[in-house]
Amino acid sequence: MKRRVVITGLGVVSPIGSAVDDFLAALREGRSGIRPVTRFDTSCYSTQMGGEVDGDSLGLTPGVFRDYIYDMVREAVRQAAGEARLDELVQRDPWAVGVSMATSLGGTLSREYYHEQKHLKGEADPALLLNVPAPLVTGLTARLTGARGPSATLVTACAAGTNAVGLGFDLIRRGEVRAAVTGGVDPFSQVSFSGFHALRALTKHICHPFDAGRDGLVIGECAAVCVLEDLESALERGAPIYAEVLGFAISNDAYHQTTPDPEGGGAERAMRGALEDAGLTPADVDYINAHGTGTTYNDDMEIRAIRNVFGERIPPVSSSKSIFGHTLGAAGAIECIVTTLCLAHGFVAPTLRWERPPVEDVEIDFVPGRSREADLRVAISNSFAFGGNTASLVLGRYGG
């Protein structure tokens, strides 16, 4: 018999708040964290906007380098592990707590600084490159929590955060661990900014997903951590329960290195698979937290996939990337937190700057402008990435 899995701790460092209460308040108010970029000169790019974490909250000093990705991880893990009282489980059996973390960039800020110093001064400290490997994020999380169970680093592009949560979910319900620290982190990097610029995927103004005038995405950054736990263990400890993880599925387009399958085949299979895993039907879903990047190709594909799965009965759909930007490898993790908070507090998050439907025959409620109170029982969180990587989570309101 599969174990039930619940979310008992959340931690977030983001452009709209570096504590869960602040993050929740910004979501409900529809307060944007997208503003002019300060980390580096963007004058040669198609946009000067981004979703940066406040430098003061990270303790950044202008002109002084620090690879703050690890500071973001420490803070998000501290919040989530503290809220879940994870130390109780670790003290009892550290091998019963696993870790699965996601990132696309890892310590790329150290790599950038190393090359900048080589270019400007002809030399740089090679020890900087020791900060670069992606698995360091997972190792740090394990050390911070004392977790000694199975660990993995997910690098499946912008689906990685969802896959990290899904892996933790699978480990728990199969009985391999009692709890898992899951999530993702990516920093605001010149590498990612210039890469998406070269792909012509950045907006020329500011992102407005699913709108007829959308023209691209905005890069963001965050650390987002969810502590998952076996329901029996959570009840036994009296741990707080935000929501229940009901289903998870991954798929693949096998279509193109960067362009999604225009028919939405992989996205459709991921949503259907996650619902089947949860033992639910499309009619059971009350809200979809979409991948919703704001690019023409991705939004068109996702709309097509949603219509294929849900037919004429499509629940409200929103893109939280309109609020804090596309956080790359961490996107699925922070959007899992958005979906969890929506279920726990009874609202649907908004799509900012939405004005007109993308095509005349699409009648979908994109929750424009502001959040809305809603009696949610079941929600889907989608992540659709480069390389055709697709993943969906089904979350439910916990009701005992």
The CA-based dihedral angle spanning residues 298, 304, 307, 308, taken in that order and rounded to the nearest 10 degrees: -120
Q: Where are the alpha helices (DSSP H) in the chain?
A: 20-29, 55-58, 69-84, 86-92, 108-121, 135-145, 160-173, 190-198, 231-237, 265-278, 296-310, 321-324, 331-345
Q: Which two tokens stand for residue 305?
A: 């996939």
Query: Which entry of 197, 208, 226, 291 is annotated as an active-site residue?
Result: 291
| Sequence-separated (6 or more) residues with CB below 8 Å from residue 266 | 251, 252, 253, 254, 255, 260, 384, 388, 389, 390
| Spatial distance between the Cα atoms of 222 and 314, rounded to a whole number of angstroms | 30
Sign, CA torsion 209/299/319/346? positive
Q: State the DSSP string of 175-199.
A: TS-SEEEEEEEE---HHHHHHHHHT
* Size of the chain in residues: 400
Q: Which residues of 33-61 are buried (b: 16+ CB within 10 A; e: fewer)?
A: bbeebebeebeebebebbbbbeeebbebe
Query: Which entry of 158, 207, 222, 336 is annotated as an active-site residue?
Result: 158
Q: Which whole-number Å values give the CA distances from 27 to 225, 280, 341, in the listed order?
A: 17, 27, 9
| Spatial distance between the Cα atoms of 201 and 204, rounded to a whole number of angstroms | 9
119 is catalytic: no
291 is catalytic: yes
245 closest CA partner among 85, 86, 81, 7: 7
Query: Which entry of 222, 226, 326, 342 is annotated as an active-site residue?
Result: 326
326 is catalytic: yes
Task: Match 């039930």 to its residue by tokens.
Answer: 4
Q: Which two tokens stand for residue 301?
A: 């594909």
Q: What are phi and psi of 25, to 5 degrees?
A: -60, -40
- Which of the residues are catalytic? 158, 291, 326
